[in-house]
Amino acid sequence: MRGGFNVPAAGLPPAGVEEPPATDRLLVPLTSRRFTFTDVRVDDGQSVSAGQVLAVDPDRYDVPLLAPASGTARLSEAEGHVVLVGLGAGSAAGEALLRGGPDDRGSSATTSRLVELGVWQFLSDARTGEVVDPDAAPAGIIATALRLEPFLAGGEAQLRGALDRLARGLTSLAALAPDAPLFVVVPDCDDPLASELRETAVALKGAHVVVVPLRFPFDEPAHIARVAGLPSGLDDVVWALRAEGVLAVDAALNEGRPATERVVSVAGPAVGEPVHVRAPLGYPVEGLLHGRLCRQPARVVNGGLLTGETLAPGQLGLDCECAGLTVLAEPTRQTLVSFARPGVSRRSYSRTFVGTLRTDMAMRYRAALSGELRPCISCGQCTDVCPAGILPGVIHKHLYADRIEEAQRLRVDLCIGCGLCSFVCPSKIDLRRQLLAAAGELREEARTIRAEQAAAEEAARLAEESEPEASGPAGETGGSTTGAVVEGAR
């Protein structure tokens, strides 16, 4: 493994997990990073039970959005949300759903059960991050027990006292796709929990244990897939999920419980008391932030420091994919002659500030560029930290000039989206967004070409089958003509 960088950030939460205060309503968003639940399955004023389907995403394999608790649905109180009021005492995550216990109907039926019980939101394609087809056999499975991006909840917050459940979940995953190799990613450190985790992983029959240093982004499934040499063709799918997803698999397949809650971090430099909380879907964001902010105004980011996106203005509750709320202070005034200051309270990857000499200093990052966008200066820092071994700065220049073929030649498709190139860039270029967009565009182009080729071959086959049979010289001529048509179509 090469590259990588651990961002020195202030505002990290402790390892424990707390329960949030009780709430009288849940505001369940109908959108998340990958899902858009447009097919709403409940009516305004309808009573719903915990675990009932509120809506599905018809464009992504009918993945459902489940009710995190019993209550009454309100569809007009908040746009883009299903609001649950009059909440019952229990939650779907705390009660076994009345759909039977462990599933023994075979791998296909079990995969359907993971979709049915809301676990599929935890899975993604390791290489692209896209939603995976439940009916497609994976070429491999990557389960990572750690998360190294600043502020997000990893195994240290989710696996204490849950290693037996983790082992059951990993065994169930292996049974889902017995022909796919299972890779379990564990940390290389002296922490007692990490040692127990490695022992648990090693004891799993047939599992490949990948021990990685605590250096971001060596935990990213896309990086592990490449290091492990897993197939990377257009049709190849590698399942990826983290510790919380493995626990959700265990709860669904071995206990019949749906996945309607998440361990979410509320952290960042603008948070006075960073914390991990176990909250149901739709828990009010305002309730999680209330009394915790130490700086105002603040920007709330849905996700981590490097890969998160600013929380949508209209999002009121936790969505089904939220892993953390990162809060950064918004600057209220410009810093005068900042270039002339030695930077005692600042650190830099390029070691241009005095504060860089303090290796124990964590930065209190703000939602500010601290300057303006500038052209690439070819410093090479993005290449230095890139774990994929590509040249982000050079690719950026080709993309800036609309030379996407050159970006393809330089393997922009290998970008794993860790965001380190954007973080260290002194010109403040959003390289991550640019490279991911180009890689996505190339994938869509390849799929379009594949579909057009398949359609042409099918048309040629139908034309050949529909050609009337003939004998003698006429038949010979007809056969020759058909051959020319087929060849031309191909």
Q: Which whole number is the average pLDDT over 315-327?
A: 97
Determine which of 80-89, 132-141, 217-226, 244-253 has the lowest per-residue pLDDT on average.
80-89
Helices (H), 93-143: 107-116
| Two tokens, residue 56 | 């599905």
For the chain, what is the domain count?
2
* Residue 139 CA to its chain's centroid (Å): 19
pLDDT digits (tens, 9 = 90+) for 283-296: 999 999 999 998 88
Buried b (16+ CB within 10 A) or exposed e, 410-422: eebbbbbbbbbbb
- The band of 89, judged by pLDDT with boundaries at 50, 70 and 90, is low
Q: Which whole number is the average pLDDT over 85-103?
A: 56
Q: Which of 194, 211, 201, 209 is nearest to 160 (CA)?
A: 194
Of the candidates 241, 262, 283, which is a domain's last residue? 262
Does the residue 140 lie in any domain? Answer: yes
Is the separation of the CB atoms in 304 and 419 below 8 Å?
no
Does the residue 77 lie in any domain? Answer: yes
Q: Nearest 10 degrees: CA dihedral of 144, 145, 146, 147?
A: 60
Number of H helices, E strands in the chain: 13, 18
Give the 3-state DSSP-derived string for 151-206, with helices as H, strands as E and coil as C.
Answer: CCCCHHHHCCCCHHHHHHHHHHHHHHCCCCCEEEEEECCCCHHHHHHHHHHHHCCC
3-state secondary structure of 436: helix
The letter for the amino acid at 214 is L
Task: Using the predicted structure, report yes or no on whether residue 478 has a pLDDT greater than 90.
Answer: no
Q: Which whole number is the average pLDDT over 379-393?
A: 96
Rounded distance between C-alpha atoms, residue 375 and residue 426, angstroms: 10
pLDDT digits (tens, 9 = 90+) for 218-231: 999 999 999 999 99
DSSP string, 30-70: SB-SS-B--EE-S-TT-EE-TT-EEEEETTTTTEEEE-SB-
Does the residue 103 lie in any domain? Answer: yes
Does the residue 292 lie in any domain? Answer: no
- pLDDT at res. 15: 87
Pairing mode, if any, of strands 25-29 and 81-85?
A: antiparallel
Task: Using the predicted structure, report yes or no on whether residue 364 has a pLDDT greater than 50.
Answer: yes
Pairing mode, if any, of strands 309-310 and 298-302?
A: antiparallel
Of the candidates 214, 243, 262, which is a domain's last residue? 262
C-alpha neighbours within 13 Å on the C-beta side of residue 278: 14
Does the residue 302 lie in any domain? Answer: no
Identify the DSSP state of 95. Answer: S
Is the separation of the CB atoms in 398 and 406 below 8 Å?
yes
Rounded distance between C-alpha atoms, residue 171 and residue 254, angstroms: 11
Does the residue 309 lie in any domain? Answer: no
Rounded distance between C-alpha atoms, residue 184 and residue 186, angstroms: 6
The letter for the amino acid at 33 is R
pLDDT digits (tens, 9 = 90+) for 251-282: 999 999 999 999 999 999 999 999 999 999 99
Mean residue pLDDT of the chain comes to 89
Query: Is the omega angle on the peptide bond into residue 134 within 30 degrees of 0, that is, cis?
Result: no
- pLDDT at res. 476: 47
- The band of 87, judged by pLDDT with boundaries at 50, 70 and 90, is very high
Identify the DSSP state of 415. Answer: -
- pLDDT at res. 218: 96
Pairing mode, if any, of strands 208-212 and 182-187?
A: parallel
- pLDDT at res. 108: 55
- pLDDT at res. 107: 53
Total residues found in the chain within this entry:
490
| Two tokens, residue 351 | 């070691």
Is the separation of the CB atoms in 9 and 347 below 8 Å?
no
Task: Using the predicted structure, report yes or no on whether residue 306 has a pLDDT greater than 80.
Answer: yes
Of the candidates 233, 262, 291, which is a domain's last residue? 262
Does the residue 19 lie in any domain? Answer: no
Is the separation of the CB atoms in 377 and 427 below 8 Å?
yes
- pLDDT at res. 95: 46
pLDDT digits (tens, 9 = 90+) for 143-199: 999 999 999 988 888 998 999 999 999 999 999 999 999 999 999 998 899 999 999
Rounded distance between C-alpha atoms, residue 417 and residue 159, angstroms: 26
C-alpha to C-alpha distances, 468 to 28, 456, 476, 485, nearest whole angstrom: 60, 20, 12, 14
- pLDDT at res. 300: 97
Domain that holds residue 467: 451-489
Rounded distance between C-alpha atoms, residue 291 and residue 279, angstroms: 17
- pLDDT at res. 105: 44
Does the residue 444 lie in any domain? Answer: no
Rounded distance between C-alpha atoms, residue 16 and residue 146, angstroms: 15
